[in-house]
Structure 1
Amino acid sequence: MSQAKFDKAVTIVQGLPKDGPIKPSQSDQLFFYSHYKQATIGDVNIPRPGLMDFTGKAKWDAWKKVEGVSKEDAMKLYVDKLLEVLGKVDDEESKKYIAEIEAA
């Protein structure tokens, strides 16, 4: 997996409008978060958030689940998941994003 494809995929995910036609599920969002962290930082390096921080705990738990995954594998899984999400929408915008990733 090239760094360029991963970087393009990250840009796309971070730029998706909340009210747009491409809506990753909460599970997909946690997948993107955990694999992004694993690809850019590596294994979890912070303590688990406290009891009242439900979002923080969900993110931490998702990241912890991918502990040990290599940077390269995390980048590939991230890009593959985005291509899967985009493929389900099958509109002009998603086709444009797929082409941008493949060209990177």
Structure 2
Amino acid sequence: MSDLQARFEQATTDVKALSERPSNMTLLRLYALYKQGSEGDAHGDKPGMTDFVGRYKFEAWESLKGTAKDEAMQKYIDLVEELRSGAVS
């Protein structure tokens, strides 16, 4: 396992232990970066118009199309660190 992969997995654990819940926009960003870092470009069918949450999540992930997995993992790690330090909410 690479160092980046290990830090990414640690960040996925750390994000669950945040003292405050991040804003919805930050949660969407976390979700998109996690999916891009772990699965790559968005795939599958876009959720329907009545599935608002699913649609927003898919669109956030889809917006990162073409971003390398390593880059997405590093951005996820950086965002989690900012949240842990209180720099972002």
Q: Structure 1 length as normaliser, TM-score?
A: 0.75
* Larger Rg belongs to: 1
Look up the match of 1:58: 56
The secondary structure found in structure 2 opposite 1:2 is helix
Q: Which runs of 4+ in 1 moved over 2 A?
A: none
- 1:15-94 to structure 2, matched below 5 A, reads 15-16=16-17, 21-88=19-86
Name the % identity: 35
Report the Cα offset of residue 24 of structure 1. 1.2
The secondary structure found in structure 2 opposite 1:48 is coil
Aligned-CA RMSD value = 1.5
Count of residues in Structure 1 that have an aligned counterpart in Structure 2: 85
CA distance in 1, matches of 2:60, 2:4: 24
Q: Structure 2 length as normaliser, TM-score?
A: 0.87
Instruction: Note if contact 1:22-1:86 (Cα within 8 Å) is conserved in structure 2.
Output: no
Letter matched to residue 10 of structure 1: T
Unaligned runs of at least 5 residues, structure 2: none
